[in-house]
Amino acid sequence: MLDRSSLIFLILLMSSLVLPACSDVEAPTPEAAFSDTGNTLPDGLADVADDATEVVDPGADATATDGEEAPDGTQVPDTTVDVAPDVAPDIPVDTAPDVVKDTADDVANDVAGDVALSCVPGVAMCAGDTLATCKADGSGWEEEFCPTGTSCKSGACAKNAPDGMVYVPGGTFQMGCATGDTCPADQSPQHTVTVKAFYLDTYEVTVERYQVCVGQNACGLAQWLFANWFNWGKDGRGKQPMNGARWDDANAFCKWSGGRLPTEAEWERAAHGGKVGKFPWGDENPTCSKDQASSASFKTDEIGCNTGLTSPVGTQSAANAYGLYDMAGNVQEWVADWYGPFSADPAVDPQGPGNTGYKVMKGGSFAHPVGELRVSSRVPAGPGEQYSSQGFRCAKSVP
């Protein structure tokens, strides 16, 4: 057995041999200790990619981003760090499109599927330029892509509308005072009317459009009233409706532009926009707020939604379901018909009575109260009369 002094000597000898050996061993770097080898990462230490393109998963607890400190104070180098675990290497996280667009056929199938329970025989709808029609037995939808040169509009494949016009589908509707509404006697009785498809100006004819016709000596200028309510001859009023035009002026302009004035039945069909109600948008009363479907220019406390004037076409009106603006308010509009009483009998493409001495104006104006903005509203006026409340738009027959 070693005595105490021998034991101390032996311990000192062994220490002198071990310490130099340990000092020659290089300590492992963080990259070596926690590289892509499956080692478990300590909480808060993000794994750094070996190169600029490889995406490395730091684990659920890693929160550091490039060049910032991890929660434990470790500095993360400015290299690619995976902040979206389990993404395939070398693929940026946000390259996938946010929206995948359906083809026209896909959209049609989606639409048909969405309304399968409400498939009514003969009902048709558009999905892009695909027309979906409910089968005669109500069992499903038949689809067709509208031919070249046509578009699907309001449940029909129609020839593309001329510039500045919209397609109004033919069909049957109830003309006159809406059931349950209280109207002047000349708006009743409500009766069944069928019209063929036609085109109609998107907007009321403006001063600047009428100026071109006058400049070509195709449109006349009668005795003009120069009160501020009339837009002709006023600076900055080019986009305002051409109000104060006589019926003959409106008729001449429409012929010059290759069209005609709409019939009263066509105008009312277009104003309804395929809906049923007192106004082009339904039964809700009009409002002067421009962000509503029921927006219109009419008389509230003062005329023209308190502006005292008409509005530039389309600016105080939302489009109806056919894409037409100002079908209620702004200016009343001349139609082709002579004024006369309604018949209760069904009619097909009615043209109105013979010459009664008065033409019909439709739609109410900036100077009229709510009740006059009804789709059924009709006012008689002599063809040569001029009012600041009257204007017009043109129609064309579908070839």
**Domain termination residue (choose one: 140, 160, 180):** 160
Is residue 79 predicted with pLDDT exceeding 80?
no
Residues 220 and 278 in one domain: yes
Q: Domain for residue 13, yes or no?
A: no
Q: Domain for residue 218, yes or no?
A: yes
Is residue 10 predicted with pLDDT exceeding 60?
no
Is residue 76 predicted with pLDDT exceeding 70?
no
Work out the average pLDDT over 176-198.
94
Query: 189: cis peptide before it, omega within 30°?
Result: yes
Residue 279, classed as helix, strand or coil, is strand
Asked if residues 297 and 278 have their Cβ atoms less than 8 Å apart, the reply is no
Q: 24: burial class by Cβ within 10 Å (0-12, 13-18, 19+)?
A: exposed
* Residue corresponding to tokens 């006059």: 372
Enumerate the β-bridge partners of residue 166.
200
pLDDT tier, 183 (very low <50, low <70, confident <90, very high otherwise):
very high
Q: Domain for residue 18, yes or no?
A: no
Q: Tell me what pLDDT residue 138 has.
A: 87
Q: Tell me what pLDDT residue 224 has.
A: 65
Tell if the pTM clears 0.75, that is, is over it.
no
Residues 257 and 141 in one domain: no
Phi first, then psi, for residue 393 (nearest 5°) are: -145, 165
Q: Domain for residue 154, yes or no?
A: yes
Residues 369 and 276 in one domain: yes
Residues 193 and 342 in one domain: yes
pLDDT > 90: what percent of the chain?
55
Q: Tell me what pLDDT residue 178 has.
A: 86
Residues 172 and 128 in one domain: no
Work out the average pLDDT over 56-60.
42
Q: Tell me what pLDDT residue 222 has.
A: 64
Q: Domain for residue 149, yes or no?
A: yes
Q: Domain for residue 19, yes or no?
A: no
Q: Domain for residue 397, yes or no?
A: yes
Residues 343 and 228 in one domain: yes
Residues 83 and 132 in one domain: no
Q: Do strands 130-134 and 171-175 pair parallel, antiparallel, or not at all (unpaired)?
A: unpaired
Q: Tell me what pLDDT residue 120 has.
A: 87
| Rounded Cα gap, residues 66 and 82, in angstroms | 10
* 11-45 residue pLDDT tens: 444 444 433 333 343 433 333 333 333 333 333 33
| Rounded Cα gap, residues 132 and 123, in angstroms | 9
Q: Which of 145, 77, 141 is nearest to 109 (CA)?
A: 141
Q: Tell me what pLDDT residue 152 has.
A: 85
Asked if residues 193 and 344 have their Cβ atoms less than 8 Å apart, the reply is no
**Domain termination residue (choose one: 160, 180, 201):** 160
* 283-337 residue pLDDT tens: 999 999 998 999 999 999 899 999 999 999 999 999 999 999 999 999 999 999 9
| Rounded Cα gap, residues 297 and 316, in angstroms | 6
DSSP letters of 294-340? TB----SSSHHHHTSS---TTSS----TTS---SSSSSEEEEEEEP-
**The total number of structural domains that make up the chain:** 3
Q: Tell me what pLDDT residue 58 has.
A: 41
Encoded tokens for 158 = 């129609």
- Spatial neighbors of 227 by CB under 8 A, at least 6 apart, are 388
Residues 116 and 143 in one domain: yes
CATH of the domain at 322: 3.90.1580.10
* 199-245 residue pLDDT tens: 999 999 999 999 999 999 999 876 666 788 899 989 999 999 999 99
| Rounded Cα gap, residues 232 and 226, in angstroms | 8
Q: Tell me what pLDDT residue 25 has.
A: 37
The whole-chain average pLDDT of the chain stands at 77
pLDDT tier, 102 (very low <50, low <70, confident <90, very high otherwise):
very low
Q: Domain for residue 373, yes or no?
A: yes
pLDDT tier, 150 (very low <50, low <70, confident <90, very high otherwise):
confident
Residues 155 and 181 in one domain: no
* 258-267 residue pLDDT tens: 999 999 999 9
Residues 75 and 127 in one domain: no
Look up the domain containing 248 and give its range: 162-399
Enumerate the β-bridge partners of residue 174.
192
Q: Do strands 395-397 and 157-159 pair parallel, antiparallel, or not at all (unpaired)?
A: unpaired
User: 91-105, 176-190, 310-324: which range is least confident on average?
Assistant: 91-105
107 CB neighbour count, 10 Å cutoff: 17
**Domain termination residue (choose one: 56, 77, 96):** 96
State the number of CA atoms in the 13 A half-sphere of 246 facing the CB.
14
Residues 183 and 332 in one domain: yes
Residues 144 and 169 in one domain: no
Is residue 136 predicted with pLDDT exceeding 80?
yes
Q: Tell me what pLDDT residue 360 has.
A: 98
